Amino acid sequence: MRVSVQEAPFDLGAEANRFAAGDTGSGAIVTFTGVVRDLAQGNLDVMEIEHYPGMTEKAIEAIADEARQRWSLADVLVIHRHGRLSPGDRIMMVATAARHRKDAFEAAEFLMDYLKSRAPFWKKEITGKGGEWVAAKDEDEAALDRW
Amino acid sequence: MDVLYFAWVRERIGIPKEKVETEAATVADLVSELVAREERYAAAFADLSALRVALDQELSGFDAPLSGVREVAFFPPMTGG
């Protein structure tokens, strides 16, 4: 298991290749990538991502541990960036390796749902008109209920 | 104890972190003390339902006791992913 909270960009291909390399027991690897969307309709200049150093790593590790208890997983990778990102930049990625694809898919979705509202990150959209904090959505909280 | 603020809570209060000497028994008591200090705290804590709190980096509740706690953090609901 690897958790990385970082400001620097990551190489999706290199990370995916390195993940579970040499693990011949896993028949399924799922990767998910989160990308900065331009929700401000062509006006988004920068997405600032703030986090809580220390708690962020602990919270993600706890979520990943929970996933490993619920599903049969050979490995888990979570990379999440912070700092100033531009539209189209990759914010984060999750990868899961499992013997069967159902475990890999479900665990990846679980990780995403929990990272969204239980890992201490906050997004701020900066446009020509100023900055606005992205509000949490009720549906994100509701998404946790299915687990 | 150390009190930390993130996102718009940090912006409203104007600082990311401060040391607070307090005898407050619970998080809610600490919030009352802060709100009584200055308008910027009252503005930040106006609606507790819009806030979350972590005690020593674990999500907690406003009725939680503060005994033994070294670090309290206030922030809006998280928006990761």
Domain count, chain B: 1
Residues in chain A whose beta carbon is closer than 8 A to a beta carbon of chain B? 34, 50, 52, 54-55, 58-59, 80, 91-92, 112, 115-124, 133-136, 141
Are B79 and A118 within 8 A, CB to CB?
no
Q: Residue A27 is part of a domain; what is its CATH number?
A: 3.90.1170.40
**B52 within some domain:** yes
Judged by CB atoms within 8 Å, which residues 21-80 of B form the interface with A?
54, 57-59, 73, 75-80
Rounded Cα–Cα distance for residues B80 and A79 (Å)? 12
- Strands A73-81 and A90-98, by their bridges, are antiparallel
Name the pTM for this structure. 0.94
Strands (DSSP E) found in chain A: 2-6, 28-35, 46-51, 73-81, 83-85, 90-98, 121-127, 130-133
pLDDT (tens digit per residue) in B5-18: 999 999 999 999 99
Domain count, chain A: 1
**B24 within some domain:** yes
**B81 within some domain:** no
Are A120 and B77 within 8 A, CB to CB?
no
Mean pLDDT, all residues of chain B: 97
Rounded Cα–Cα distance for residues B51 and A118 (Å)? 13
Q: Residue B12 is part of a domain; what is its CATH number?
A: 3.10.20.30
Is the per-residue pLDDT at A39 higher than 90? no
**B12 within some domain:** yes
Is the per-residue pLDDT at A40 higher than 70? no
How much of chain A exceeds pLDDT 90, in percent?
A: 82
Are A122 and B57 within 8 A, CB to CB?
no
pLDDT (tens digit per residue) in A55-98: 999 999 999 999 999 999 999 999 999 999 999 999 999 999 99
B23 to chain A nearest CA, in Å? Answer: 25
Mean pLDDT, all residues of chain A: 94
Domain that holds residue A76: 2-146
What is the 8-class DSSP label of residue A135? P
Q: Considering only CB atoms, which chain A residues are within 8 Å of B8? A: 133
pLDDT (tens digit per residue) in A125-142: 999 889 999 999 988 888
Are A123 and B79 within 8 A, CB to CB?
yes
Domain that holds residue B27: 2-75
**B80 within some domain:** no
